[in-house]
Structure 1
Amino acid sequence: MRRYFLFVFFLSLVWLVSGCATKKLAPVSDEDNPAHHYLMGMELVDKGDIDEADARFQRALQLEPDYAPALAGRALAAACRTKAESDAEHKSVELKRALDLLDDAEDEAKGDSQKFMVEVTGIRVYTRAKPKDWIDDAEDCYEDSMDLDKGNEAELPYYRSKTAAPYFMGRAYFANYQFRKSEDMLSKVMSASPGRWHEPAEKLFRKVHKIVRASAGYTLTDVAKRIAVKDRVSRADVAALLVDEIHLDRLMAGRIAAPQKKNPEAFIPADVRENLFKPEILVVVKWDLRGLEPIYDSTSRAYLFYPNKPISRKELAFVLEDILIKITGDESLASKYYGQSNSPYPDVPPTSAYYNAVTNSVTRGLMAPDLSGAFRPDENTDGAELLQSVLRLRNVMNVQ
Structure 2
Amino acid sequence: MRRLSAFVLLLVAIAVYGCSKPPVRCTSPEDNPRHHYLSGMELLDRGLFDSAAEKFSRASWCDEKFAPAHAGAAITVAIKGGDPLYQSYKGPDRNVAANEELKKAKKLSKTPEDLFAYRLASMRVATVLKGEDWLEDVQEHHKAAWKLKVDEGNLIFYQGRESADYFMGAAYLEAREFQKARDSFSSVLNSKKDGRWHGPSDKAWKRTDKMVRAISGITLGDVGKTIALRDTVSRADMAALLIDELKVDKLFMGRIPVKPKEARFVPHDVLASPFKEEVSSLIGLGVRGLEPSYDETTRANIFRPDEPVKRKELALALEDIVIKLTGNEKIASAFLGHGQSPFPDVAPSSSWYNAIMSVTTRNLMETELSGEFRPDDAVDGAEAIMAIRTLKHQLNIY
Provide the TM-score with structure 1 as the length reference.
Answer: 0.90
| Paired position in structure 1 for 2:242 | 242
Within the alignment, does 1:117 sit opposite 2:132 as a pair? Answer: no
Cα deviation for residue 254 of structure 1 reads: 3.8
| Paired position in structure 1 for 2:57 | 58
Rounded to whole Å, the distance in 1 between the matches of 2:58 and 2:88 is 29
Paired residue secondary structure (1:386): helix
| Paired position in structure 2 for 1:345 | 343
| Paired position in structure 2 for 1:175 | 174
Paired residue secondary structure (1:253): coil
Paired residue secondary structure (1:189): helix
1:95-149 CA distance string (max 9 Å, x none): 211111112212222222222222122211111222222111111111111111x
Contact 1:24 1:63 in 2 (8 A): no
What pairs with 1:13-52 in structure 2 (closer than 5 Å)?
Answer: 25-52=24-51
Paired residue secondary structure (1:84): coil
Rounded to whole Å, the distance in 2 between the matches of 1:371 and 1:329 is 33
What pairs with 1:357-368 in structure 2 (closer than 5 Å)?
Answer: 357-368=355-366
Rounded to whole Å, the distance in 1 between the matches of 2:339 and 2:376 is 22
Cα deviation for residue 167 of structure 1 reads: 0.8
What pairs with 1:28-107 in structure 2 (closer than 5 Å)?
Answer: 28-85=27-84, 90-107=90-107
What letter is aligned with 2:344? Answer: P
Rounded to whole Å, the distance in 2 between the matches of 1:159 and 1:352 is 48
Q: Summarize the Cα distance change of 1:60–1:278 in structure 2 as closer, same or farther, 3 Å threshold.
A: same
What pairs with 1:129-140 in structure 2 (closer than 5 Å)?
Answer: 129-140=129-140
My pick for the range that moved more, 276-285 or 25-34, is 25-34
1:239-277 CA distance string (max 9 Å, x none): 00111111111001143232799xx82211111122110
Cα deviation for residue 88 of structure 1 reads: 8.7
Contact 1:82 1:92 in 2 (8 A): no
Identity between Structure 1 and Structure 2 (%)? 42
Note the aligned Cα RMSD (angstroms). Answer: 2.5
| Paired position in structure 2 for 1:384 | 382
What letter is aligned with 1:215? Answer: I
Rounded to whole Å, the distance in 2 between the matches of 1:200 and 1:356 is 36
> Of 367, 370, 395, which residue of structure 1 is paired with 2:368?
370
Contact 1:24 1:64 in 2 (8 A): no
Within the alignment, does 1:258 sit opposite 2:258 as a pair? Answer: yes
Q: Summarize the Cα distance change of 1:203–1:254 in structure 2 as closer, same or farther, 3 Å threshold.
A: farther
Within the alignment, does 1:393 sit opposite 2:391 as a pair? Answer: yes
My pick for the range that moved more, 326-335 or 284-293, is 326-335
Paired residue secondary structure (2:294): strand
Cα deviation for residue 374 of structure 1 reads: 1.7
Contact 2:82 2:90 in 1 (8 A): no
Rounded to whole Å, the distance in 2 between the matches of 1:24 and 1:358 is 69
Paired residue secondary structure (2:264): coil
Q: Mind listing any 5+ residue stretches in structure 2 that lack a counterpart?
A: none
Within the alignment, does 1:160 sit opposite 2:159 as a pair? Answer: yes
My pick for the range that moved more, 91-100 or 74-83, is 91-100
What letter is aligned with 2:132? Answer: K
| Paired position in structure 1 for 2:127 | 127
Within the alignment, does 1:313 sit opposite 2:316 as a pair? Answer: no
> Of 355, 363, 366, which residue of structure 1 is paired with 2:353?
355
How many correspondences in the alignment? 387
Within the alignment, does 1:147 sit opposite 2:151 as a pair? Answer: no
Q: Summarize the Cα distance change of 1:61–1:24 in structure 2 as closer, same or farther, 3 Å threshold.
A: farther
Q: Mind listing any 5+ residue stretches in structure 1 that lack a counterpart?
A: none
